[in-house]
Structure 1
Amino acid sequence: MRTIRTAVEIDASPSAVWDVLTDFSSYPAWNPHVPHASGDLRVGEAVDIVVRREGGKDRSMTVTITALEPERRLEWVGKLLSPRLFEGRHTLELEPLGEERTRLVNREELSGVFARFATTDEPERDYEAMNRALKTRVERAPSIA
């Protein structure tokens, strides 16, 4: 198994981060790694996503929401034919750091026969780009008082 793990601290509440992270319709405006996501945000539901890799081709796939804890965790799983061939479990966790600061942990666990081909630093760069873009989007959003 291979784990990709990145993190970023965002100057906003977990609620504000969650609102942007779960607004799939806004992904094209800010998300360089997953520029498209559509579907029902409910455990067990299928979501269509497009994954963009720096210097690579866009890849469309359908993932299944496996965890949804408002303002805490969003998780989905995608697989290639069978989990034995390839499975990616993508988890986005929000850790409150006081009232107006949040740490986002952006992690994916890759398993299966083809997981060994994801051994370069490219996935980390893509996840870090997504983290930076989310931080920028949330911190620039007008606060509602």
Structure 2
Amino acid sequence: MADEKPHFTAEIHIEAEPDAVWDVLMDYEALPEWSNAFQGTDKPMKEGEVSTAYFFNPATHQTIEFTHPVHVYEPKRRFGWSGKLGGGHHDRHIYEMLPHPEGGTIFRQSDGLYGKPSSIMTRMMEHSIDHTYKSFNKRLKARVESLYPKARKGE
């Protein structure tokens, strides 16, 4: 699984330092106020341990759970998990906060559905996930920049 390349990546430039982006992502109590997807985990993450991640499902307006092993956890930099999904697939989802050379942060999510050969249904699911990630990234940017306004350029 370690050499699987992501099927899609969504990234955005946020005018704040990686620590600020991390802090907003780890504030699980506030996530439901702005996040259209990720709602937190059941406990602090640690690489190699199993964690349950919670996501808002816009189709049902309910929270869904995915219990996956955490395959990467580097505080203030990146975290992610992999595990079984439905339909004979598994994923490898990573959130990254990368310093931008001109200031701020590149926030990146990468993922893919692996396992069963690709089908029209797989591609439709990936398209939906990709759209959700891009929307999440825009909401994260707005949230971070509203909480850390002095971090924006020109201030």
TM-score (norm 2): 0.76
- Where do 5+ consecutive residues of structure 1 fail to align? none
Count of residues paired in the alignment: 143
- Aligned partners of 2:8, 2:58: CA distance in 1, in Å? 16
Tell me which residue corresponds to 1:127. 133
- Aligned partners of 1:112, 1:53: CA distance in 2, in Å? 23
Which of 136, 143, 147 is the aligned partner of 1:141? 147
Whether the 8 Å CA contact 1:25–1:38 is kept in 2: the answer is no
- Where do 5+ consecutive residues of structure 2 fail to align? 151-155
- Aligned partners of 1:57, 1:87: CA distance in 2, in Å? 23
Q: Percent identity?
A: 27
Tell me which residue corresponds to 1:111. 114
For residue 97 of structure 1, report the CA deviation from its aligned partner: 1.0
1:87 aligns with 2:90: yes
- Aligned partners of 1:93, 1:115: CA distance in 2, in Å? 26
| CA root-mean-square deviation | 2.8
- Aligned partners of 1:44, 1:25: CA distance in 2, in Å? 24
- Aligned partners of 2:51, 2:30: CA distance in 1, in Å? 15
- Aligned partners of 2:74, 2:44: CA distance in 1, in Å? 15
TM-score (norm 1): 0.81
Range moving further from structure 2, 121-130 or 16-25: 16-25
Tell me which residue corresponds to 2:72. 67
Larger Rg: 2
Deviations 1:45-74 (A, max 9, x none): 222223334435653221221111122211
Relative to structure 1, is the Cα distance of residues 26 and 118 closer, same or farther in structure 2, using a 3 angstrom cutoff?
farther
- Aligned partners of 1:129, 1:9: CA distance in 2, in Å? 13
